[in-house]
Amino acid sequence: MDSLSQKLSHHFLDAFKDSDVACLSEVTPQGLDQSAVVSSNTNLAGTLGIRGNFLDDPDTQEMFSGNLVPSSIKPVALVYSGHQFGVWAGQLGDGRALTLGEIDVSGELWDLQLKGSGATPYSRFADGRAVLRSSIREYLCSEAMNGLGIHSTRALCLIDSNTPVYRESVERAAIICRVARSHIRFGSFEHFHYRGANDMVKKLANYVIRRHFPSWEVGSEGYRKLFKNAVQETAKTIARWQSVGFAHGVMNTDNMSILGETIDYGPFGFIDTYDPMFICNSSDSQGRYAFVNQPSMGLWNLNALANALVSLVSPEELTSILQTYEPTFRREYFDLMAQKLGITDFIETDSELIDRLLLILAEEEVDYTNFFRSLCEYQTKGGGDFLTKVLKNSVKFNSWLADYDDRLSQEPALSQERRSKMLAANPKYIFRNYMAQEAIDAAEQRDYSLVNDLLNTLQTPYDEHPEMERYAGDPPNWASSISVSCSS
Ligand code: AMP
Ligand code: MG
């Protein structure tokens, strides 16, 4: 226990506890009754330099269950504000999360947070809890995204309990330990800006620069770089979402990381049958965050961030940096899509080939992930079910294939080499909602094996996992009836 808790520092707390405008609260977690370990992420533990079996130590388990706060640890909840569904929502904050401290990962500090550990001063009228089901979803999706090579918060462990939580029915409370390079959101800057606390906007920017970009100067040039980094990393992250068919569901500015990483897994969903209008969040009646809208919503959010930074960077500079969003997004997106097709160097005319294919997949209602995985075998074995059965009679697809053949003939790689590259660009396993549901159903009966099997599979989604083969096929019919909504 000592070894882990003593590794944690409190740089954020030290930097902000005496600020004129409050930006955090020291809090005490509310623990869980009869905590039980669902899963611990030995892979991430290794990255953090802690023992893979860290939860074997009873005190450490108690810490991650919110029941024990070692004397060296000072948990804090952060305040932030945000635009929710395009509307200014005012003050929000860590309503059900607290940061235990920071841990040094190769010279950079990463936060360790508990999520679901009870009410904080920012809970408003809610209970500060997270139910087991949503915690399993966040735990596995964070790791699935990381496995796909998409920048994301991580998850170190997941604890179940007997503590009741009252939602539509009585459920069990759980806590995950979320790990992130930063928990500072666009909404953290908006919070201070809209209170007229420009000195705090600056202090926060200085903090982010010193912690994450120590080689940058703290001052005008550093602020420009910080915003440019947010614009470009957000563009790239969203491009990666689009390339794997991930829909976030709640792209409010309080759920956007200043480092451009994916954060806050709620009603997210991966696309099964390709549908650009896919809306994963049943509360999103207007489809504001529909799959196809995500790139433009990213830009909308960056505009909101720009507004919050006007005291640091001139409007002209903010505007010109914002203009780099679209080209950055396009470059990243088309590079990734080209790789999925086995094209090494994207050329502008490939965009037409890609767009046309997506239209066909939508029209023919084809499974997005399975199509691309099958396509890896096209040149060597004819291309699996989709090409030989599902799309065989599509005139449009066959004419697309002819153009695809032409394009591949200009590529330097031989088909075997291309096949291996494509297998590394087209995941076999994505975290589909029905898989989450099966893991949840078992865990509710206290069988945690599927959570752990999925963790293992989703961390290396491009590899073969013969024992998990059934999760590589089409989702079952009942999958389309799953509905997921906001915070739970
Ligand atoms: P989300 O849409 O999940 O990002 O949540 C928006 C805001 O509501 C955040 O400030 C959360 O901390 C807060 N929140 C969500 N669920 C709860 C809960 N059960 N208890 C307290 N605060 C919550
Ligand atoms: Mg949130």
CA pair distance 7, 49, nearest whole angstrom: 10
The pLDDT assigned to 157 comes to 98
Nearest to 157 by CA among 7, 250, 56: 56
Residue 367 has pLDDT above 90, yes or no: yes
Cβ 255 under 6 angstroms from ligand 1: yes
Which two structure tokens, joined as six digits, stand for 285? 């009646």
Region 232-240: what's the mean pLDDT? 99
Domain C-terminal end among 423, 444, 475: 423
pLDDT score at 103: 98
What is the per-residue pLDDT across 386-440, written as a single tens digit (0 to 9) for each? Answer: 888 889 999 999 999 999 999 999 999 889 999 999 999 999 999 999 999 999 9
- Which structural domain range is residue 81 located in? 4-183
Query: 33 with 155, same domain?
Result: yes
Q: Are residues 67 and 213 in the same domain?
A: no
E strand intervals along 282-401:
none
- Domain stops at, among 183, 218, 250: 183
Residue 476 lies in a domain: no
Number of domains in the chain: 3
Assigned domain for 483 exists: no
Residue 175 and residue 216 in one domain: no
Task: Report whether pLDDT(1) > 60.
Answer: no
* Co-location of 168 and 194 in the same domain: no
Residue 288 contacts by C-beta under 8 Å, 6 or more apart in sequence?
A: 85, 86, 297
pLDDT at 487: 74
Domain closes at, from 396, 423, 450: 423
Same domain, residue pair 67 and 12: yes
Q: Percent of the chain, pLDDT > 90?
A: 94
For atom 18 of ligand 1, the residue with the nearest CA is 128
CA–CA gap between residue 112 and residue 179 (Å, rounded): 5
Give pLDDT, residue 384.
82
- Among 283, 80, 64, 81, smallest CA distance to 177 is for 64
3-state secondary structure at position 176? strand
Query: Do residues 218 and 162 both lie within one domain?
Result: no
The mean pLDDT value of the chain amounts to: 97
d(CA 216, CA 88): 32
Q: Is the dihedral of CA 255, 257, 260, 264 positive or negative?
A: negative
Ligand nearest to the CA of 121: 1
CB 70 within 8 A of CB 59: yes
Spatial separation of the C-alpha atoms in residues 479 and 339, rounded to whole Å: 29
Residues 320 and 347 placed together within one structural domain of the fold: no
The reported pTM is 0.98
Residues 158 and 30 occupy one common structural domain:
yes
Q: Would you call 158 helix, strand, or coil by DSSP?
A: strand
Residue 2 pLDDT class (50, 70, 90 cuts) = low
| Region 363-371 average pLDDT | 97
Q: Residue 397 CA to chain centroid, in angstroms? A: 33
Q: Is 479 within a domain?
A: no
| pLDDT computed for residue 381 by the predictor | 85
Closest C-alpha residue for ligand 1 atom 20: 128
**pLDDT of res. 231:** 99
Q: Is 127 in the pocket of ligand 1 (CB under 6 A)?
A: yes
* Closest ligand to the CA of 94: 1
Instruction: Identify which ligand lies nearest to the alpha carbon of 90.
Output: 1
Same domain, 55 and 84: yes
Residue 165: the pLDDT is: 98
Pick the atom of ligand 1 nearest to 128's CA. 20
Q: Which residue, 100, 111, 91, is CA-closest to 183?
A: 111
Residue 453 is assigned to a structural domain of this protein: no
**Could you tell me if the CB of 264 is within 6 A of ligand 1?**
yes
CA distance linking residue 238 with residue 246, whole number of Å: 9
Distance CA(148)–CA(429), nearest Å, equals 9
In a domain, 374, yes or no: yes
CB of 126 closer than 6 angstroms to any ligand 1 atom: yes
Same domain, 44 and 114: yes
What are the Cα distances from residue 344, in Å, to 149, 340, 413?
Answer: 18, 9, 8
- The pLDDT of residue 383 is 83
Segment 10-23 shows an average pLDDT of 95
Does some domain include residue 429? no
In a domain, 452, yes or no: no
Q: Rounded to the nearest whole angstrom, what is the distance from the C-alpha of residue 473 to the centroid of ligand 1? A: 35
Collapsing DSSP to helix, strand or coil, 370 comes out as helix
Tell how far the Cα of 170 is from the centroid of ligand 1, in angstroms: 18
Give the model confidence (pLDDT) of 40-52 as tens digits.
Answer: 999 999 999 999 9
**Segment 186-205 mean pLDDT:** 98
In a domain, 151, yes or no: yes
For 458-468, what is each residue's pLDDT tens digit?
Answer: 999 999 999 99
Based on the fold, state whether residues 349 and 298 are members of the same structural domain: no
Same domain, 179 and 194: no
**Residues taking part in catalysis:** 254
Q: Determine which helix (DSSP H) or strand (DSSP E) holds 89, and give its type and residue range.
A: strand 87-91
DSSP helix/strand/coil, 60: helix
